[in-house]
Amino acid sequence: MITQHPEYQYLDLLKEIMKSWGKKELFLTPEVQQQYIDRGEEFPYITSLFGRMMRFDLREWFPLLTTKKVFLKWVIVELLWLLKGSGNIKYLIDNNVHIWDERWWKKYVEMKKLEWETDLMDVKAYIEKVKSDEEFANKYADLGPAYPVNRRHFKGHDDREADQIAWVIEWLKNRPNRKSYVVSARHPCYTYEMAREWESMALPPCHTTFQFNVNDQGELSCALFQRSADMFLGIPFNIASYALLTMMIAQVTWLKVWEFVHFIGDAHIYSNQIEQVTEQISRSPRPIPTMKLNPDIMDIDAFTYEDFTLEWYDPHGTLKGEVVNIGGF
């Protein structure tokens, strides 16, 4: 029985961060700094707390936040992309999900500068080019060892590849009681500040590690460690995404589902989100929705957008916020 609405974990953390308001500087590239100077604006900053945890019981409810509308289509399409094993965002763009557009566009600009090109497309033109030109997309919309690649094609020092998701599924079916089902996204040899430029990731992964565990009742849980957490924009998506992943893994391994546990390193709010966060924490959570998966899908790679059905979702209105562009890779 739920004694308190689980969304209060999230709202209480927002309140705690706001109450402890500080001013932590962001790394901004000189180009981005100049943009703020040209507009006469103060550099954005964050306030943060270190080391927090939230738990969400998935047995009856689905933790899609209700104090603002969360666009579930973006969550589902991104999750399916994360499971495809390719760092190319054409799949996202083709499905009208634009979470990653600007980061990938920035990489395109950097690549073009290395090619001594000066006639560069803006973000909108870049998106249209990715949609229409397969060759262009293969070259300029693929960032190599990003999240999907490390989940499905994690490379070792000797070029062996590990499909971490397939490994987890196979062994959960056969030996569910083991404690070693850990998926890693962070690879020091590909983190851009440690790696050779042409082998680096576009950004160090925020979702560094997640682990699956089965209790003595045959119920599957997932725990995520997230090193960096944009509490207003990113975390609502992350909670829903990993809850949904846990449900999918449980279904294809013939297990019941239990919890998603979210460990956060740096939990922060950006200075340009204060007004929106203030509004959100003034709202009361509404009834928790439920999620149904197509029970016929027993292959993790067979899920499509149509296989997910959300019920009883009645959130408060949308709260929009600007993503802070720190620049660089």
pLDDT by residue (tens digit) across 29-41?
777 777 788 888 8
| Mean pLDDT across 149-156 | 84
329 class by beta-carbon count within 10 Å (0-12 exposed, 13-18 middle, 19+ buried): middle
Give the pLDDT of residue 296. 98
Q: Which of 68-72, 109-113, 268-272 has the lowest mean pLDDT?
A: 109-113
In the predicted model, what is the mean pLDDT of the chain? 89
Give the pLDDT of residue 297. 98
Give the pLDDT of residue 203. 62
Give the pLDDT of residue 8. 97
Backbone φ and ψ of 284, nearest 5°? -95, 135
271 — pLDDT class (breaks 50, 70, 90): very high
Give the pLDDT of residue 102. 78
Question: With contact defined as beta carbons under 8 Å apart, do 249 and 211 qualify?
Answer: no
Q: Catalytic: 206?
A: yes
Give the pLDDT of residue 198. 45
Return d(Cα 325, Cα 287) in angstroms, integer. 35
Compare 1 and 137 and report the one with higher pLDDT. Answer: 137
In percent, the amount of the chain with pLDDT more than 90 equals: 61
Return d(Cα 219, Cα 242) in angstroms, integer. 16
| Mean pLDDT across 91-100 | 89
Chain centroid to Cα 28, Å, comes to 22
Give the pLDDT of residue 329. 41
Return d(Cα 234, Cα 243) in angstroms, integer. 14
Q: What is the pLDDT of residues 159-215, one digit of tens each?
A: 788 999 999 999 999 999 999 999 998 877 666 555 455 454 456 788 899 999 999
Give the pLDDT of residue 326. 61
Residue 110 vs residues 70, 78, 115, 139, 202: alpha-carbon distances, Å: 32, 24, 9, 13, 11
Tokens of 80: 């399916």
pLDDT of 1 > 90? The answer is: no
Catalytic choice (168, 206, 222, 261): 206
Domain range 49-86+159-266+277-311, CATH class:
alpha beta
Q: What is the pLDDT of residues 38-57, one digit of tens each?
A: 888 888 899 999 999 999 99
- CATH 3.30.572.10 positions along the chain are 49-86+159-266+277-311
Question: With contact defined as beta carbons under 8 Å apart, do 223 and 213 qualify?
Answer: yes
Q: Which of 54-63, 142-151, 236-245, 287-296 has the lowest mean pLDDT?
A: 142-151
Closest-CA residue to 187 (of 175, 200, 168): 200
Residue 42 vs residues 35, 102, 273: alpha-carbon distances, Å: 10, 22, 14
| Mean pLDDT across 234-261 | 98
